[in-house]
Chains A and B, each alone.
Chain A
């Protein structure tokens, strides 16, 4: 399978615990995004990587959140000292950035998401 994969699919944790999510993008994709989605809402941007460089972070990403993409391949999103308000679906997406005839390509492909429940 060459799609975006996320692990774990579901995580239940107690308030105050740390959790880590992993995303494996489509292998040749150089752009990687993390989004958060709550029920009935559209996905909200958290952070963006181009290769291994984290180029953009949302103000939603408090200092309890950290993301990495070592070597420009898989990415991890860690939430420290979880709070009940962190309960959401965490979505990872990847795309391939190339300049073709001066135009951006960059179709986004999403994984199935990691659902976090904080008790």
Chain B
């Protein structure tokens, strides 16, 4: 079964800390993987898209890596700020003849001032 798992489900860190969020997927045959941020009651904001041929993508303080062989992606957030508090979701599009993106349940991040 094609699934996406995110660990931990929740994380609370002091401001300024570097942190890593994890995303695991069950099949290495993927088109791409995308990380999103979601604030309470809002839609999803795209953070980074990694194509299957790429190993990592960077945007500002965010860096996402992709290791298809181990079925893992990590989102690294440098120098965390209270404004980074949100739920972070990853989504995978598998190559199995489907168009859909499968989402994990997210990691709820709280950065304490």
Do A and B interact? yes
Count of A-B contacts judged by CB separation below 8 Å: 63
Per a CB cutoff under 8 Å, which of B36, B53, B100, B105 touches A45? B100
A42-B106, A103-B51, A104-B31 as given contacts; A33 in contact with B43, CB under 8 Å: no
Instruction: Kindly state the separation between the CA atoms of A113 and B100 in the bound complex, as whole angstroms.
Output: 18
Instruction: Kindly state the separation between the CA atoms of A35 and B38 in the bound complex, as whole angstroms.
Output: 14
Complex interface: stretch among A11-19, A48-56, A70-78, A79-87: A48-56
B89–A42 CB distance below 8 A: yes
A45–B42 CB distance below 8 A: no
Q: Is residue A65 contacting chain B, with contact meaning CB distance below 8 A?
A: no
Instruction: For A112, list chain B residues within 8 Å (CB).
Output: 42-43
Interface residues in chain A, defined as those with a beta carbon under 8 Å from any beta carbon in chain B: 4, 6, 31, 33, 35, 40-45, 48, 50, 55-56, 58, 91, 93, 103-104, 106-113, 115
Q: Is residue B91 contacting chain A, with contact meaning CB distance below 8 A?
A: yes
9 contacts between A and B (CB under 8 A): A33-B100, A42-B4, A42-B91, A42-B103, A43-B44, A106-B31, A108-B44, A109-B46, A115-B41
What's the least CB distance linking B55 to chain A, in Å?
14
Q: Is residue B101 contacting chain A, with contact meaning CB distance below 8 A?
A: yes
B43–A111 CB distance below 8 A: yes
Instruction: Kindly state the separation between the CA atoms of A40 and B10 in the bound complex, as whole angstroms.
Output: 11
Of all chain B residues, which has the CB nearest A6? B43
Of all chain B residues, which has the CB nearest A104? B31
B residues 14-50 touching A (CB-CB < 8 Å): 31-32, 34, 36, 41-46, 49
